Structure formats: structure tokens, C-alpha cells
């Protein structure tokens, strides 16, 4: 079997058109969705992502505010800036680009963002609300994965989903979103014994381990849906995922490539969450 490629770039483009239409409608009611992005330090990849977030905001007609802070900024100054943005009515979404320098407590930073403006969906209140099936900002990469499957017409109810990886921003929440959609979910991680035994059961396999080409054809059931969340560089400096694409695509039914798979959905769902926050502010204020 040769897998069908799930084209994240195309699906993201379609979603962005829908979001732009809603933004225009909201602007006609006098509200422009506003996103504040805080970048601490000068990590090259982080700067690229932040620039892309700013550019996408502008493309969709949203207001974007970039706040740059030096690597050595104090935790206190960063928290004070977040508090200021929490009170700014022009800002509907706040995000602090991760990773942060080691001297800054990431949890403290996330918990300082108002849950009403936490468009990354990382605040414990939003995570709790997601777990209990309440209205919440959903974390952008996991949410993007669900939209990719929905747009491709891949059913989820009753499917065996195996998530390899347990990070707070992808692995754990994506498993929860599948559980909310009535899948049977198994989490695997670095301490899992005989990984293959689990991954071979997967109708939908999500690889989010951050190790280049970690998932091989031997880990995959014939016809499975394989979602690659990895963004790694191989020895030649070329971008690659957690899945050995060439061999796995010979066996899977569907597969997301890297790049142009899950990645483009992350920023698209961030735009969606910012729009949602602006819309919700209308009924609250």
C-alpha cells in the first residue's frame, strides 16, 4: 500500500480563508482580534515561528503586537508585561514563545496569562476544561491534528489511537482530544517496553517524540493513519519528522509529511483561537 499524503499546507490555507471571513465580520462590528506574542532571547527557530505568526495575523486582518525581550530579562519583568497585556482590551490573545531561558519558570509564566486570553491553550484552567469536555482554548498543535483528520474524512470513534510522546504541549493533550472523541487511547514513551507491540495495534499513530526517523515501517500496521509531529534536523541539516517517511509511506494508509503536514496547522489554530477569544469578548464585555 502507498499512503495518501495529508497535505497540511492545503488544509491550513482553506481554514485560514474561513478565519479571515469571520475576522472581517467581527471587524464590521468594531472588534479587531489582537494577538500579542512575547519573544524572549534570540533563538533562531523561535524567531522564525514568531515572524510567521505576525505575518499570518496580518494576512487574516488581525492586529499583531510583537514584544521582544532580551535573553537575560528577569522573570518579574516578563510577568509584569503579561499582567499589562491581560488588562489591554485591544489584545484578545497572549502567547509567550517557548522554549524560555532556564532562569524563567515556564509554569509561572503560563499561569500568569489570563485563561481568557490563553490562545496557546496551555493554562491549567484550559487544560482542565479540555479534559472535562468544557468550552476551552485547545492547544494549537493537537487541535490542528484533529482538524487534519476531520478535513480528510478519517473517522475517530472507536479507533485505537497510539500516541508516542507525553509532552505537555502535544503528547498528553492530543491523547485527551482523541479520548474526547471516543477513541481508545494508549500513550507510549521512553520507558515503554517493546514499543512495537503497542504501535502495531494503532489505527491512528501519532509520533511526537522529537527523535528523527524514530518510527519505522516495523512499528506500523498496514493501512494505519500516521501523524508525524516531529520537527527535527537530520545530519545534513535537512528538516525531518519522527517518522521514517519513505519506508512508512509504503505501509500506511495515510501519512502527514514534514514539512507541510502538522506544522502549518499550529499557526492556523492559533489564529482560530485568537478569533474565538475576540468573539467571546463581545458577549462578556
Ligand X SMILES: Nc1nc2c(c(=O)[nH]1)N[C@@H](CN(C=O)c1ccc(C(=O)N[C@@H](CCC(=O)O)C(=O)O)cc1)CN2
Q: Which residues are known catalytic residues? A: 53, 97, 120
Spatial separation of the C-alpha atoms in residues 215 and 220, rounded to whole Å: 8
Flag whether 284 is marked binding. Answer: no
C-alpha cell at 129: 476544561
Q: Is 43 exposed, middle or buried (0-12, 13-18, 19+ CB in 10 A)?
A: middle
User: Within the chain, what is the greatest distance between any pair of CA atoms?
Assistant: 57
Q: Which of 98, 125, 131, 211 binds ligand X (CB under 6 A)?
A: 98
Query: Binding of ligand X at residue 273 (CB under 6 A)?
Result: no
For residue 99, cis peptide bond before it (omega within 30 degrees of 0) = yes
* Residues 203-262, interacting with ligand X (CB under 6 A): 231, 239, 258-260
Could you tell me the sign of the dihedral formed by the alpha carbons of 109, 110, 116, 118, in that order? positive
Beta strand spans in 104-220 (E):
160-164, 184-188, 204-207
Q: What is the DSSP string of 229-271?
A: ---EE-TTS-EE-SB-HHHHTTT-SEE--SSSSSHHHHHHHHH
* Residues 70-89, interacting with ligand X (CB under 6 A): none
Flag whether 165 is marked binding. Answer: yes
* Residues 171-200, interacting with ligand X (CB under 6 A): none
* Residues 28-57, interacting with ligand X (CB under 6 A): 49
Spatial separation of the C-alpha atoms in residues 2 and 111, rounded to whole Å: 45
Residue 111: name the closest of 168, 44, 175, 52 by CA: 168
Rank residues 23 and 37 by Cβ distance to ligand X and give the closer one.
Answer: 37
Flag whether 181 is marked binding. Answer: no
Residue 49 Cβ vs ligand X, minimum distance, rounded to whole Å: 4
Residue 112: name the closest of 85, 139, 79 by CA: 79
Residue 221 Cβ vs ligand X, minimum distance, rounded to whole Å: 25
Rank residues 170 and 224 by Cβ distance to ligand X and give the closer one.
Answer: 170
Rank residues 141 and 277 by Cβ distance to ligand X and give the closer one.
Answer: 141
Flag whether 166 is marked binding. Answer: yes
Q: Which of 118, 120, 203, 242 binds ligand X (CB under 6 A)?
A: 120
Q: Which of 138, 140, 147, 207 binds ligand X (CB under 6 A)?
A: 140
Residue 53: name the closest of 85, 14, 17, 97 by CA: 97
The closest residue (CB) to ligand X is: 263
Rank residues 49 and 254 by Cβ distance to ligand X and give the closer one.
Answer: 49
Q: Which of 22, 264, 276, 278 binds ligand X (CB under 6 A)?
A: 264
Tell me the binding residues: 165-167, 231
Residues annotated in a binding site for NADP(+): 165-167, 231
Give contact residues for ligand X (rule: CB under 6 A): 49, 95-98, 120, 140-141, 231, 239, 258-260, 263-264, 266-267
Amino acid at each position: 500500500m502507498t499512503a495518501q499524503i495529508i497535505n497540511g499546507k492545503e488544509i491550513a490555507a482553506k481554514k485560514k480563508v474561513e478565519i479571515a471571513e469571520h475576522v472581517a465580520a467581527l471587524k464590521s462590528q468594531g472588534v479587531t482580534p489582537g494577538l500579542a506574542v512575547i519573544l524572549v532571547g534570540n533563538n533562531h527557530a523561535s524567531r522564525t515561528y514568531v515572524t510567521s505568526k505576525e505575518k499570518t495575523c496580518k494576512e487574516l486582518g488581525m492586529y499583531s503586537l510583537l514584544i521582544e525581550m532580551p535573553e537575560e530579562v528577569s522573570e518579574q519583568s516578563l510577568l509584569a508585561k503579561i499582567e499589562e497585556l491581560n488588562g489591554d482590551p485591544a489584545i484578545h490573545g497572549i502567547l509567550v514563545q517557548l522554549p524560555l531561558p532556564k532562569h524563567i519558570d515556564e509554569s509561572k509564566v503560563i499561569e500568569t496569562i489570563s485563561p481568557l486570553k490563553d490562545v496557546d491553550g496551555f493554562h491549567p484552567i484550559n487544560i482542565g476544561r479540555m479534559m472535562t469536555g468544557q468550552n476551552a482554548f485547545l492547544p494549537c498543535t493537537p487541535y490542528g491534528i484533529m482538524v487534519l483528520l476531520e478535513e480528510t474524512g478519517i473517522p475517530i470513534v472507536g479507533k485505537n489511537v497510539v500516541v508516542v510522546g507525553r509532552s505537555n504541549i502535544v503528547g498528553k493533550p492530543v491523547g485527551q482530544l482523541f479520548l474526547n472523541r471516543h477513541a481508545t487511547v494508549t500513550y507510549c514513551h521512553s520507558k515503554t517496553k517493546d514499543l512495537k507491540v503497542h504501535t502495531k495495534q494503532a489505527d491512528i499513530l501519532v509520533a511526537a517524540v522529537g527523535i528523527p526517523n524514530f518510527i519505522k515501517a516495523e512499528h506500523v500496521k498496514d493501512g494505519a493513519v500516521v501523524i508525524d509531529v516531529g520537527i527535527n534536523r537530520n545530519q545534513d541539516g535537512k528538516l525531518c519528522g519522527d517518522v521514517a517517511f519513505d519506508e512508512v509511506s509504503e505501509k500506511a494508509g495515510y501519512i502527514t509529511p514534514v514539512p507541510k503536514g502538522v506544522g502549518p496547522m499550529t499557526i492556523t489554530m492559533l489564529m482560530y483561537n485568537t478569533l474565538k477569544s475576540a468573539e467571546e469578548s463581545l458577549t462578556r464585555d
